[in-house]
Amino acid sequence: MSYQVLARKWRPKSFDDLVGQQHVVRALSNALDRDQLHHAYLFTGTRGVGKTTLARILSKALNCEQGVSSKPCGVCSACLEIDGGRFVDLLEVDAASRTKVDQTRELLDNVPYAPARARFKVYLIDEVHMFSSHSFNALLKTLEEPPPHVKFLLATTDPQKVPVTVLSRCLQFNLRRLLPGEIGDRLRHVLEVEGVAFEPAALPLLARAADGSMRDGLSLLDQAIAFSGGRVAEDEVRAMLGTVSGDLLLDLLDALAAADGARLLAEVERVAALTPDFGELLRELIVLLHRLALVQQVPGSLAADDPDQARLAALAAAMPAEDVQLFYQVALTGQRDLPLAPDPRAGFEMVLLRALAFRPVAAADTLSAPPAPRALERSVPPVSDAAPPAVPGTGPNAPRRAAVPNPAPPPAVSVESVRLTSHADWQHLVARLPLRGIPSQLAHHCGFLEWADGRLALTLDPTAENLRVASAETRLREALEQALGGPVRLDIQVARPQQETLAQRRVREADERQQLAEETMRADPLAAQLRERFDADWVPGTIAPAD
C-alpha cells in the first residue's frame, strides 16, 4: 500500500478529534442534537485550521444512517463513503476553479432534485470568496430559500471578500488559529501512535513553525521524519527550519545585556556559520525576550524543568525591565524592516545595534569605564527659579562670535559638602544624578519636602503618577545613596509640588523660547515685508527657536 501523508491520515473523523475549535463544535453539536439546523453555514479562518474537515464531519452527522446527531457512527456506508470522498450526495466544489457564472448555474440546476440516497444533499463550496460577483448573484436566491433537502456548507480564508448579502444568509463560524501548545500536543500524540522516536525539544520548534495551522504542523512533521531518517531530533529539525539552538540565542542576549558590541557581532558570526533563517532567528529572539519579561514580572511562570531556567533567571536579575521592553519593541519593529535590508544578516545586525544605541542607560555604561564614585564629582551652584538674564549681543540678528570653551570644572567636593535642605538643593542634586529614562523623569517631576534621618520625602506631580514604578524608584534610590553617601528611604507622595519642578521649569522655558521666537519673527522687517507683499501669514507650528 502506498504511503499516506500524516496530514491526510490524521484528518479528524469526528467532532471529538478536532483540536482547538471547541466553540464551533459546541454550537454545531447542540444544533444537531436539538434538530435546530440552518440551511447554510459559513466557516472562516486561516489555512489548515479545519474548515473543510469540519464541513465533512457535519455532512456525516447530517447523513449518518443511524440518524442526525453530533456523534455519527463512522461505520455505516454513508460515513465511510464521505470519509473516502465518494459520497454521491456530497458535492465538493472548489470555487477557485469554478469562477464563471455559467458553471455556478450548472451546479445549482440540480438543487431542486431530491438526493440519490441520503437524507440531505450537501453542497460544500471551498474558498467561496473566489466566486465572481455574477456567481454570487446566481447563488443568492437559492442560498436564501433552498429546498428542505439541501444544505450549503461554505468555507473561506478571506470572509471580507464575501458579499454581505451572502454573509447575512449564513450562520458564520470563525475558526481560530491554533496555539503552539495545542499543535505540539497533537504532534506528540501522532508520533506516539505511529511509533516514531522523537526528542521532546523538537516538537515546540515544529509547532511554532506551523504558525497556527494544524495541517502545516503535520506536513512539517512529515518532512522532519524524512529529514532525520525515520525519527525526529532537535538538531535535525533546527537544521531543516533554519533555526539555531537556544544556547546561541541566550549567548546573543547575554552580549546584548552586557552592551558589548564586539562580543555581540562575534556571536552573530557564530550564528551565521550555521546559515540560519535570520527572519526566524529574530522571531525566536522576540519569543525569548517575552519569556524574560514574564520571568521578571511573574517569577513563578518559569517551569522547574525548563532547561534554560538558570540562564533565564540570571538574565532576568541582571537586565533592567525597561531594557527588556525596549529590546522587545526594537526587535518587533525590526521584523518589518528586515526584508528591506541589503541582506538578512546585515538587517539582523542592525536590529541588534539599534537596540544597543537606544539602550536606556548612561552612555558610560556601554564602555569599559570604572564604576562611578559615590560622591558627586563637582559642585554646581543651585538652580535658580528665575529666568536667566538676557545677554547683550545675542538673538537671531546678533553677529556671530567665536565659540568660547567651557571653563574648567571646580574641584571635586566631599560627601559632607552635599546639602539637601531646600527645593533648590534638590534641583541641584537631581541635575547631577547619573540617571536616564524613567528614573530620571521621575526625579524631574518630584518636589522637595524633607530630608532627615535617612528619609527623603518628595511630592510627585499627579500628572506624572504613571512614572512611579518599582524599578524606577529602586534606581533613583540607588543613585541618591551614591550621591549622599548613605542609605536613603524614599517617601514619595502624589501631590502637586509647592515649588516648580525641573520638568515644569523645562516646559516653561520651552514655552518662553517659543514665544520669543514668534515675537522675533513678527518684529523682523524682512518677514513683515514678505507677509505684506504676498498677503500671507506663517503656517501655524512652523516657527521654532533656533536652539
> What is the predicted pLDDT for the residue at 214?
93
Question: Cell numbers at residue 77, please?
Answer: 456506508
> Of residues 115 and 466, which shows the higher confidence score?
115
Task: Provide, rounded to the nearest whole percent, the portion of the chain with pLDDT above 70.
Answer: 87
Strands in 40-44's sheet, in edge-to-edge order, are 90-94, 121-126, 150-156, 40-44, 171-174
**According to the CATH classification, is domain 180-241 in 1.10.287.1400?**
no
CATH assignment, 6-174: 3.40.50.300
Give the mean model confidence (pLDDT) for residues 221-247.
Answer: 83
Q: Would you identify the CATH topology of the domain 246-364?
A: Zinc Finger, Delta Prime; domain 3 (1.20.272)
- Output the average pLDDT for the chain: 82
> What is the predicted pLDDT for the residue at 141?
84
332 pLDDT band, cuts 50/70/90, is: very high
- Look at the pTM and tell me if it is higher than 0.95: no
> Of residues 405 and 145, which shows the higher confidence score?
145
Q: What does each C-alpha distance from 104 to 81, 256, 292, 475 come to in angstroms?
A: 25, 59, 54, 70
- Domain chopping of the chain, boundaries: 6-174, 180-241, 246-364, 417-499
User: pLDDT digits over 482-497, tens only?
Assistant: 888 888 888 888 888 8
In 277-362, beta strands by DSSP E: none
> Of residues 299 and 168, which shows the higher confidence score?
168
Question: Cell numbers at residue 409, please?
Answer: 570644572
Helix axes 344-357, 261-272, angle to 10 degrees: 160
Q: What angle do CA 121, 124, 126 make, to 5 degrees?
A: 170
Checking if the pLDDT of 440 tops 80, the result is yes
Checking if the pLDDT of 538 tops 80, the result is no
In 10 A of CB 421, how many CB atoms? 11
Question: Cell numbers at residue 438, please?
Answer: 524613567
> What is the predicted pLDDT for the residue at 27?
93
Task: Provide, rounded to the nearest whole percent, the portion of the chain with pLDDT above 90.
Answer: 24
Is the C-alpha dihedral spanning 514, 518, 519, 525 positive or negative?
positive
> What is the predicted pLDDT for the residue at 547?
63
> What is the predicted pLDDT for the residue at 315?
84
Q: Are 362 and 434 in contact (CB under 8 A)?
A: yes
* CB hemisphere CA count around 23 (13 angstroms): 8
Q: What does each C-alpha distance from 265 to 238, 268, 278 come to in angstroms?
A: 22, 5, 14
- Cα separation, 87 vs 109, whole angstroms: 19
> What is the predicted pLDDT for the residue at 306?
62
Q: Which element (helix H / strand E) includes 54?
A: helix 51-63
> Of residues 293 and 383, which shows the higher confidence score?
293
Strands in 455-460's sheet, in edge-to-edge order, are 446-452, 455-460, 489-494
Of the candidates 271, 129, 289, 280, the residue with the CA atom closest to the CA atom of residue 210: 280
Give the mean model confidence (pLDDT) for residues 306-316.
Answer: 76
> What is the predicted pLDDT for the residue at 137?
86
> What is the predicted pLDDT for the residue at 170?
92
* CB hemisphere CA count around 56 (13 angstroms): 23
CATH assignment, 417-499: 3.30.300.150
When mean pLDDT is compared across 413-422, 466-475, 508-517, the lowest value belongs to 413-422
> What is the predicted pLDDT for the residue at 55?
92
> Of residues 376 and 424, which shows the higher confidence score?
424
304 pLDDT band, cuts 50/70/90, is: low
Q: In 485-536, where does DSSP find H-type helix?
A: 502-523, 525-534
Q: What distance lies between CA 95 and its chain's CA centroid?
A: 34
Q: Are 435 and 446 in contact (CB under 8 A)?
A: no
> What is the predicted pLDDT for the residue at 243?
66
Checking if the pLDDT of 257 tops 70, the result is yes
> What is the predicted pLDDT for the residue at 259?
85
- Cα separation, 189 vs 388, whole angstroms: 75
Checking if the pLDDT of 21 tops 50, the result is yes
Question: Cell numbers at residue 522, please?
Answer: 513678527
Alpha-carbon torsion angle 357, 363, 369, 370, nearest 10: -140
